[in-house]
Amino acid sequence: MSAIAENVAALREKIDAAARRAGRSPEEITLVGVSKRQDIAAVQEAIAAGIAHIGENYVQEAAGKRLAARERGLHEARWHLIGHLQRNKAREAVEIFDSVQTVDSVKLAQALARQAALQNRTLDVLVEVHLGEEETKSGVAPEQAVDFAAEVGAIDGLALQGLMAIAPFGIDPRPYFRQLRGLFDTLPEQHRQVLSMGMSSDYETAIEEGTTMVRIGTAIFGARVTQ
C-alpha cells in the first residue's frame, strides 16, 4: 500500500469516528482531496485509493492535471475549484471543473453562467463566505451571504448547492463553523446540498458542526511540492 493510500485509509477512520461522535453517518461526509502543488502521479494514487473528488486552487494547474488524468483514463473523479477565481478565467474554469466553490460576486456568477450556456451545461457552484477578519481571504460577508445566495441561485446556468468557507487560522474554528452552519440552514432546501468546511487541521471539528464536505490536502498528500 502506498503512503497516500495509507493516509486515505487513516483519514477515513478519523472521519468515521468524528461523524459517529456527532451522531451522524460517515456517508454524509464527502471527502475532497486537495492536490494543490502535487503532481499527477500523486493524484492518480489518491484516486486509486478511493478519492472520488479532487480540489484544486488554480485554473492553469488544474487544466494540466485534468488533461493528464483523462489521458490516463481517470475519468471518475469530480474536480472542484476551491481557490479564488478571476472573471477572466471563467471560460477555462467551466471547461475544467465540475464545481466552483468560490463564487463571491454577482459579476463572477454571471460570467460563469454565460460560459456554462456557451458550453451547453449547468455548473454546480457554492457561495464562498468570508469568516473572520483575515484580509487575504475572499468571500462575501456573513451578513450578506443569504441574500447573495438567493441572487446566485436565480441565475440560469448555475446550480447553487450551498456554502463554502475557510475558518481563520490559529484560533478555535468552532464558532465560525457554527456561524456558517446557521447561514446554511436558512437557505431554501434546494440550495442546502453542500456545506463545504473543514481542512486538514480542523475537519473533525467541522464534522461535529455539520459539514457535508471536507477539503483535505496535507493529511492525504503530505507536504506540498514547492515550485
The grid coordinates of residue 186 equal: 436558512
Q: Say if residue 90's pLDDT is above 80.
A: yes
Per residue in 63-83, pLDDT (tens digit) is: 999 888 888 876 679 999 999
Q: Can you give the pLDDT at residue 132?
A: 81
Q: Domain residue spans in the chain?
A: 3-221
Q: Can you give the pLDDT at residue 156?
A: 97
d(CA 126, CA 47): 23
Architecture of domain 3-221: Alpha-Beta Barrel (3.20)
Mean pLDDT over the full length of the chain: 94
Is residue 225 very low, low, confident or very high in pLDDT (cuts 50, 70, 90)?
low
d(CA 185, CA 129): 14
Answer yes or no: are the C-beta atoms of 184 and 206 closer than 8 Å: no
Least confident of 132-141, 143-152, 178-187: 132-141
Answer yes or no: are the C-beta atoms of 59 and 93 closer than 8 Å: yes
The grid coordinates of residue 218 equal: 496535507
Q: Say if residue 227's pLDDT is above 50.
A: no
**Average confidence (pLDDT) over 31-38:** 95
**Average confidence (pLDDT) over 51-63:** 96
Q: Can you give the pLDDT at residue 75?
A: 67
Could you give the C-alpha distances from 162 to 67, 135, 200, 215, in angstroms and in order? Answer: 28, 23, 21, 15
Q: Can you give the pLDDT at residue 194?
A: 98
Q: Say if residue 112's pLDDT is above 90.
A: yes
Q: Say if residue 136's pLDDT is above 70.
A: no
Q: Can you give the pLDDT at residue 190?
A: 97
pTM, two decimal places: 0.94
Is residue 224 very low, low, confident or very high in pLDDT (cuts 50, 70, 90)?
low
Question: Which percentage of the chain shows pLDDT scores above 90?
Answer: 87
Per residue in 38-50, pLDDT (tens digit) is: 999 999 999 999 9
